[in-house]
């Protein structure tokens, strides 16, 4: 059965071996997705919840609001993503002169894993009408990487410095939009109209 502290310990032991041993730890955890939900908690709000943070390892529980998207961004470190509830669609991008262009995609459902190399640029979408939960394990300090991270504007695809406060704000705004639509009647009008 999934145990949060045991998972953290396993990731700490595995991180020196790189991405593949971390992938094995995440795969073992995903074999008990119900236990992960129980241990990490039913999602109440969209957000980024750090589980563990060190210079060489960050573990985050991501909860994506329904129909939420996150702009293309890089990590400057490897990442292993394991979805334990819902769906996470990733678009992968490659640099092209002064912008980026789409280079592939991967759709993850409960139990699926994505491994992202150090230089990968991706954007994320929760395409469904419920919260999506995923554990992301990074081979470095996600919040204070050794090399500056970048994000790309959704519309122009122009690169700019990554801003964690802006990303957290996007999670709050996505949840607010979802909450507002839940409070409307099926016809789209507020209750009582």
Does the structure show a pLDDT above 80 at 188? Answer: no
In a domain, 119, yes or no: yes
Q: Is the pLDDT of residue 154 over 60?
A: yes
170 — pLDDT class (breaks 50, 70, 90): confident
Would 188 be classed as within a structural domain? Answer: no
Ramachandran class of 108: left when φ > 0, alpha when ψ lies in -120 to 50, beta otherwise = beta
Q: How many Å apart are CA 63 and CA 24, to the nearest integer? A: 22
Domain count, the chain: 1
Asked, for residue 147, whether it belongs to a domain, the answer is yes
Q: Are 167 and 48 in contact (CB under 8 A)?
A: yes
Answer yes or no: are the C-beta atoms of 86 and 110 closer than 8 Å. yes
CA distances (Å), origin 94, targets 31, 88, 90, 103, 126: 32, 20, 13, 6, 21
Query: Average pLDDT, whole number, for the chain?
Result: 91
Instruction: Determine, yes or no, domain membership for 176.
Output: yes
Model confidence, pTM: 0.88
Q: According to the model, what pLDDT value does residue 134 have?
A: 97
Distances (CA, A) of 76 to 95, 112, 119, 140, 186: 14, 23, 6, 9, 44
Please report whether residue 189 resides in a domain: no
**Which whole number is the average pLDDT over 160-187?**
78
Percent of the chain with pLDDT over 70: 94
- Whether the pLDDT of residue 48 is over 50: the answer is yes
Residue 90 pLDDT > 70, yes or no? yes
pLDDT (tens digit, 9 = 90+) per residue, 57-71? Answer: 999 999 999 999 999
Report if residue 91 sits inside a domain. Answer: yes
In a domain, 155, yes or no: yes
Return d(Cα 56, Cα 78) in angstroms, integer: 11
Give the per-residue pLDDT at 183.
65
What does the chain come to in residues?
Answer: 193
Confidence of residue 187 (pLDDT cuts 50, 70, 90): low
- Residue 189, pLDDT score: 45
The confidence score (pLDDT) of residue 82 equals 98
Contacts of 120 (CB under 8 A, 6+ apart): 74, 75, 79, 92
At residue 14, φ and ψ (nearest 5 deg) are -85, -25
Domain span holding position 159: 4-182
Residue 193 included in any domain: no
Contact 90, 108 (CB under 8 A): yes
CATH classification of the domain holding 146: 2.60.120.10
pLDDT category at 21 given cuts 50, 70, 90 is: very high
């Amino acid at each position: 059965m999934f145990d949060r502290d045991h998972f953290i310990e396993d990731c700490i032991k595995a991180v020196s071996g790189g991405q593949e041993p971390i992938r094995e730890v995440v795969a073992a955890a995903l074999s008990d997705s119900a236990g992960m939900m129980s241990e990490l908690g039913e999602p109440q709000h969209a957000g980024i919840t750090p589980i563990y943070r060190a210079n060489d390892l960050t573990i985050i529980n991501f909860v994506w609001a329904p129909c939420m998207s996150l702009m293309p961004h890089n990590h400057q470190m490897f990442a292993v993503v394991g979805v334990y509830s819902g769906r996470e669609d990733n678009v992968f991008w490659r640099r092209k002169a002064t912008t980026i262009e789409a280079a592939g995609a991967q759709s993850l459902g409960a139990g699926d894993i994505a491994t992202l190399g150090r230089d990968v640029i991706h954007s994320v979408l929760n395409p469904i009408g419920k919260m999506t939960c995923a554990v992301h394990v990074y081979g470095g300090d996600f919040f204070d990487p050794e090399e500056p991270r970048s994000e790309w504007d959704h519309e122009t695809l122009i690169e700019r410095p990554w801003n964690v406060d802006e990303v957290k704000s996007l999670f709050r705004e996505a949840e607010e939009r979802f909450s507002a639509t839940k409070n409307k009647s099926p016809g789209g009008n507020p209750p009582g109209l």
